[in-house]
Amino acid sequence: MRIILFLLMQAAVLVLVSIVGSVVLAALGIRLSGGSYAGLLLLCAVMGCAGSVISLFLSKWMCKRAYGVQVITVPRNAKEQFLLNAVASMAQREGFNMPEVGIYESNDMNAFATGASKDHALVAVSSALLYSMSEDEVRGVLGHELSHISNGDMVTMALLQGVLNTFVYFFSYIAAQAAAQALRGENQRGSNYFIFSLINSIFQIVFGLLANIILMWFSRWREYRADAGSARLEGRECMIQALQALQRGGPAPVQPGQFQALCINAGGGLSELFMSHPPLEKRIAALAQLQL
């Protein structure tokens, strides 16, 4: 259902971009033939969505290899048995298939959920988290990750990324066309591929930064929502205790860009605008005020 939503949303975006693009092109005096305009829209949509769709469907495979996740098939100890039992109970209550459950070796207390759909997901926790946190704290973390799966956050993030990429590519092209024409002058309409490519690259960086601010705002919002989901699944105190345990563990290392939004604690940044996760103290304060 979410894949269908992805396609419908992309179609709606193309219609919107087409309307806005026509107005902007007319205002800037840029003329494109019908075929060129349609081709540009299609190319931007393909370029904008291809990477997001591929990343979504390869997300489990990529994460397993990037973090060295060992999927638990037969629990080796009581901690692993507790982990499986807790995930199975939450998945049953949330109404989706049991995700794969794994552990990866790391001194960083962290966890993530990923997968192309809620019925084919992966939940993984670091060895430091599993063996350092209490069972209540681990339940809080697992409730957070299972809420991400239940909310379909992996697909939604991919959808939004594809939509934003389409806007970035399309409007960068239009802005670069206008700037290149202005630099060439009214009497020098000859094409200059180098000038256009340079300006287009600059606009892609600028528009890409603006798009990333929107993407990171949404990522922070979904973190608050997953915290609230954990509070409803396992109780407010479990989630608060889990976040407090993460605070005691010190600042988390900054995660690789493609995995940043997947983790329960992704590390800081130069500005909260570019952070995928809200500061831990803000998340704790939001939970304390949450109406259950």
Residue with tokens 């840029």: 30
Q: Could you say which of 145, 234, 237, 272 is catalytic?
A: 145
Please state, in angstroms and rounded to a whole number, the distance separating the CA atoms of residues 279 and 174. Answer: 37
Residue 223 CB coordination number (10 Å):
25
Q: Side chain identity at 255, as an amino acid letter?
A: Q
Q: Side chain identity at 213, as an amino acid letter?
A: I
CA torsion angle for 225, 226, 230, 232 (degrees, to 10)?
Answer: 30
Please state, in angstroms and rounded to a whole number, the distance separating the CA atoms of residues 190 and 238. Answer: 66
User: Measured on CA atoms in the order 133, 136, 140, 141, is the torsion positive or negative?
Assistant: positive
Residue 46 CB coordination number (10 Å):
11
DSSP per-residue letters across 89-141? HHHHHHTSPPPEEEEE--SS--EEEEESSTTSEEEEEEHHHHHHS-HHHHHHH
Whether 272 is a known active-site residue: answer: no
Closest CA to 17 of 44, 36, 35: 44
Structure tokens at 81: 């048995």
Enzyme catalytic residues: 145
